């Protein structure tokens, strides 16, 4: 359905069938909205980045609250929650009750409204970054927005011009495995996805080696999704973030870029940009081409038409469009396509920078309103906010009851994250009193509601095992996979659970089994990994990379356990995949055998030879020596008729 807007200066905004676009706030009310969030009262919070690369506003950038106080669907009240030069070039705003988390290029601040006057009375520095190439101390490839996950933790990301994370006292953050969270390639590099507790503790690097991953979003199952900007090569991408995965912006071992020559180099730029032929790189979900992707979410409401429900919705200012990415499971991974939700016909000033979901289920779009979307500069600082809903739908915010278990469980079903945060927090505070309401919610026909209930149930004292048992019996593969995520969340033994799931019919569940074995260095874990490896079909790269993640910290034991089980079939196509991907030293010698095996097609040789670049030490040297000896060996003279 097309909808002309008076505020659209150069043309018409076109909305998908079944929805209309209406203005919520216009350019006289805000400037340069880099990030938005919607609170449980339906108010739109805006992170203004007017000082991005110029610092014209000496008082600093602002966090605004825009409110529709008379119910006409238009903002008529504006408040300044916070303004200070310490958020010049703000990248993210996240509203959690009376707390607001603001991401600036080189820091994450926790602002608290202690007395309910819509002003920040307290400020705490959660993390500090370091901009690698400062222009007035700013870069948009730095720290981005934070969001509250269904497991009660915080998720955020940063791009490749942020050197790492430091505490307020100046100490470098180390993750739960003891690794430095920086660009040292020990083991992480470039852009990263981070998870931590609400107080900033227990930091995990969930994915790394992105270029400029602007925002990460987490659905109710705990699956993570994000986009990544290219460098002008028409290679922007969308990723499912498989935990602990490497995403291939730079070569893993050397840090070299995509243009560096390498064995088995990818034929197309879209694959070459992200090192998709290298073992140890998680595949891309989707290439979206040229652009400048920014805000993203998973829409889990029911107000928008069915094609957009439970799907990613994404702001793409470079293409003047808000997209949806309908996604389907395919083996251990996914396929996706692009569909327009709201796009422009001729209005180049329409630059949607972020998206958020209101408590009534309507979609809120931030519009940067600037013909420039790259090159670290701005021309026009104007901004607008649009609302997307079925035609004629009034903007009415539901009443919420966070004081009773039934009321809080009902609120936990809401599509707005600020509402869900307050519901989750209330239920967690109720502890045992919340259990019956969550048990009932765990039987809801909507699997995403069941997932939210189980996350919350697991957070109640002694509730994790019950939540896991319920999840294991679910017909939905995402819920069965959730059992593993809950176990990891609560530090429970992984091997007994994987043992029960190792032969699950769903490759998605088995993928999570493999990922769950990451750094579990026991002989039982190795045997379970081998069972999972035997089920690789030789065609599912997602599954193969999950196996590679799962062998980390136990690779020799895993590989040898698989060899013992697989027997001579290690030379079959699926077995060759395992050898190619494994980082166990023993795999290097088998790579050489495969190269020399006349039954292995020569077309596979470049791939097999490339795998040597990811081995080191004596095992690699010995394997390469075998190949060199074969090359130096005298060849038999050809005889007539010999093939």
Mean pLDDT rounded to a whole number for the chain? 94
The three-state secondary structure class of 268 is: coil
Q: What is the pLDDT of residue 630?
A: 80
Query: How many whole angstroms separate alpha carbon 240 and alpha carbon 502?
Result: 22
Query: How many whole angstroms separate alpha carbon 589 and alpha carbon 605?
Result: 14
Q: What is the pLDDT of residue 291?
A: 92
Antiparallel, parallel or unpaired: β 321-325 and 311-316: antiparallel
Question: Looking at the predicted structure, is the pLDDT value of residue 641 above 80?
Answer: no
Q: What is the pLDDT of residue 355?
A: 98
Question: Looking at the predicted structure, is the pLDDT value of residue 7 above 50?
Answer: no
Asked whether the beta carbons of 45 and 64 are under 8 A apart, the reply is yes
Tens digits of per-residue pLDDT, 214-251?
999 999 999 999 999 999 899 999 999 999 999 999 99
Cα–Cα nearest to 544, from 242, 307, 173? 242
CA 127 to chain centre: 19
Asked whether the beta carbons of 102 and 92 are under 8 A apart, the reply is yes
Q: What is the pLDDT of residue 376?
A: 57
Q: What is the pLDDT of residue 2?
A: 35
What residue ranges of the chain are covered by domains with CATH 2.120.10.30?
2-247+282-389
Q: What is the pLDDT of residue 132?
A: 87
Tens digits of per-residue pLDDT, 295-325?
999 999 999 999 999 999 999 999 999 999 9
Confidence label for 9 from pLDDT (cuts 50, 70 and 90):
very low
Q: What is the pLDDT of residue 380?
A: 78
Cα–Cα nearest to 218, from 157, 155, 302? 155
Q: What is the pLDDT of residue 544?
A: 98
Cβ atoms within 10 Å of 148's Cβ, excluding its own: 21
Tens digits of per-residue pLDDT, 509-556?
999 999 999 999 999 999 999 999 999 999 999 999 999 999 999 999
Rounded to 10 deg, the angle between the 523-534 and 555-566 helix axes is: 50
What are the residues whose beta carbons fall under 8 Å from the beta carbon of 342, sequence distance 6 or more? 13, 14, 15, 16, 19, 21, 321, 322, 352, 365, 386, 388
Going from the C-alpha of 9 to that of each of 4, 20, 24, 370, 381, the distances in angstroms are: 10, 18, 16, 12, 15
Q: What is the pLDDT of residue 133?
A: 75
Cα–Cα nearest to 281, from 266, 260, 297? 266
Tens digits of per-residue pLDDT, 333-390?
999 999 999 999 877 778 999 999 999 999 999 998 776 665 556 777 889 999 999 9
pTM for the whole thing? 0.95
What is the side-by-side order of every strand in the sheet holding 92-96?
Answer: 92-96, 99-104, 107-112, 122-128
Question: In the block, which residue shows the tokens 């901009």?
Answer: 131
Question: In the block, which residue shows the tokens 């045997």?
Answer: 527
Question: Looking at the predicted structure, is the pLDDT value of residue 632 above 80?
Answer: no
Q: What is the pLDDT of residue 449?
A: 99
Pull the structure tokens for residue 534.
């035997």
Q: Which helix (H) or strand (E) holds 353?
A: strand 352-357
Query: Which CATH number, 3.30.70.1140, 1.10.1060.10, 2.40.10.10, 2.120.10.30, labels domain 2-247+282-389?
Result: 2.120.10.30
How many CA atoms does the CB half-sphere of 74 hold within 13 Å?
A: 8
Q: What is the pLDDT of residue 15?
A: 96
Tens digits of per-residue pLDDT, 153-207?
999 999 999 999 999 999 999 999 999 999 999 999 999 999 999 999 999 999 9
Confidence label for 3 from pLDDT (cuts 50, 70 and 90):
very low
Q: Supply angle C-alpha 162, 421, 201, rounded to 5.
A: 45
Q: What is the pLDDT of residue 51?
A: 86
What percent of the chain has a predicted confidence (pLDDT) above 90? 89
Question: Looking at the predicted structure, is the pLDDT value of residue 68 above 90?
Answer: yes
CA 488 to chain centre: 18
Rounded to 10 deg, the angle between the 585-596 and 617-632 helix axes is: 10
Cα–Cα nearest to 156, from 193, 206, 188, 108? 193
Q: What is the pLDDT of residue 626?
A: 93
Tens digits of per-residue pLDDT, 455-504?
999 999 999 999 999 999 999 999 999 999 999 999 999 999 999 999 99
How many CA atoms does the CB half-sphere of 88 hold within 13 Å?
A: 18
pLDDT: which is higher, 35 or 346: 35
Q: What is the pLDDT of residue 135?
A: 65
Q: What is the pLDDT of residue 643?
A: 27
């Amino acid at each position: 359905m097309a909808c002309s807007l008076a505020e659209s200066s150069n043309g018409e905004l076109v909305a998908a069938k079944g929805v209309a676009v209406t203005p919520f706030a216009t350019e006289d009310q805000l400037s340069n909205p880099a990030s938005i969030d919607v609170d449980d009262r339906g108010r739109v919070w805006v992170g203004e980045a007017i000082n991005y690369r110029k610092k014209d506003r000496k008082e600093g950038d602002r966090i605004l609250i825009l409110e529709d106080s008379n119910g006409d669907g238009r903002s008529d009240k504006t408040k300044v929650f916070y303004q200070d030069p310490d958020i010049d070039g703000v990248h993210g705003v996240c509203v959690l009750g009376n707390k607001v988390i603001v991401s600036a290029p080189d820091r994450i601040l926790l602002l608290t409204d202690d007395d309910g006057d819509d002003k920040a009375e307290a400020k705490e520095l959660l993390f500090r970054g370091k901009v690698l190439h400062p222009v007035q101390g700013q870069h948009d490839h730095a720290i981005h927005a934070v969001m509250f996950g269904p497991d009660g933790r915080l998720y955020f990301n940063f791009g490749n011009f942020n050197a790492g994370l430091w505490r307020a006292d100046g100490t470098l953050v180390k993750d739960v495995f003891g690794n430095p969270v920086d660009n040292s390639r020990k083991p992480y590099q470039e852009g990263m996805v981070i998870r931590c507790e609400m107080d900033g503790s227990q930091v995990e690097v969930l994915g790394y080696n992105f270029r400029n991953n602007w925002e990460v979003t987490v659905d109710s199952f705990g699956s993570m999704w994000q986009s990544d900007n290219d460098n002008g090569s028409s290679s922007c991408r969308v990723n499912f973030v498989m935990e602990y995965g490497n995403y291939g912006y730079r070569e893993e071992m050397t840090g070299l870029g995509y243009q560096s020559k390498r064995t088995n180099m990818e034929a197309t730029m879209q694959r070459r940009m992200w090192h998709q032929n290298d073992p140890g790189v998680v595949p891309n979900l989707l290439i979206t081409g040229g652009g400048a992707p920014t805000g993203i979410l998973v829409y889990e409401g029911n107000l928008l038409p069915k094609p957009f429900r439970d799907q990613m919705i994404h702001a793409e200012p470079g293409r003047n469009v808000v997209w949806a990415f309908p996604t389907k499971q395919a083996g251990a991974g996914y396929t996706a396509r692009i569909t327009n939700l709201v796009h422009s016909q001729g209005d180049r000033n329409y630059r949607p920078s972020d998206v958020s979901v209101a408590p009534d289920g309507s979609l809120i779009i931030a519009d940067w309103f600037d013909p420039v979307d790259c090159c670290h500069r701005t021309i026009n600082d104007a901004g607008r906010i649009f609302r997307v809903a079925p035609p004629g739908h009034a903007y009415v915010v539901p009443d919420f009851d966070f004081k009773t278990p039934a009321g809080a469980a009902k609120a936990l079903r809401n599509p707005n994250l600020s509402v869900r945060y307050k519901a989750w927090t209330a239920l967690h505070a109720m502890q045992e009193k919340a259990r019956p309401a969550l048990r009932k919610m765990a039987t809801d026909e909507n699997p995403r509601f069941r997932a939210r209930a189980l996350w919350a149930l697991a957070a109640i004292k002694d509730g994790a095992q019950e939540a896991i048992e319920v999840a294991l019996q679910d017909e939905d593969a995402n819920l069965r996979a959730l059992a593993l995520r809950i176990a990891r969340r609560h530090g429970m033994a992984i091997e007994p659970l994987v043992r029960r799931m190792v032969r699950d019919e769903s490759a998605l569940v088995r993928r999570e089994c493999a990922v769950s074995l990451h750094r579990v260095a026991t002989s039982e874990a190795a045997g379970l990994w081998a069972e999972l490896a035997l089920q690789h079909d030789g065609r599912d790269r997602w599954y193969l990379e999950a196996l590679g993640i799962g062998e980390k910290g136990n690779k020799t034991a895993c590989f040898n356990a698989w060899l013992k089980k697989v027997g001579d079939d290690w030379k079959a196509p699926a077995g060759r995949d395992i050898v190619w991907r494994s980082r166990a030293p023993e795999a290097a010698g088998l790579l050489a055998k495969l190269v020399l095996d006349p039954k292995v097609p020569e077309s596979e040789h470049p791939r097999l030879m490339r795998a040597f670049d990811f081995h080191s030490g004596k095992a690699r040297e010995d394997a390469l020596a075998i190949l060199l000896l074969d090359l130096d060996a005298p060849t038999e003279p050809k005889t007539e008729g010999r093939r």
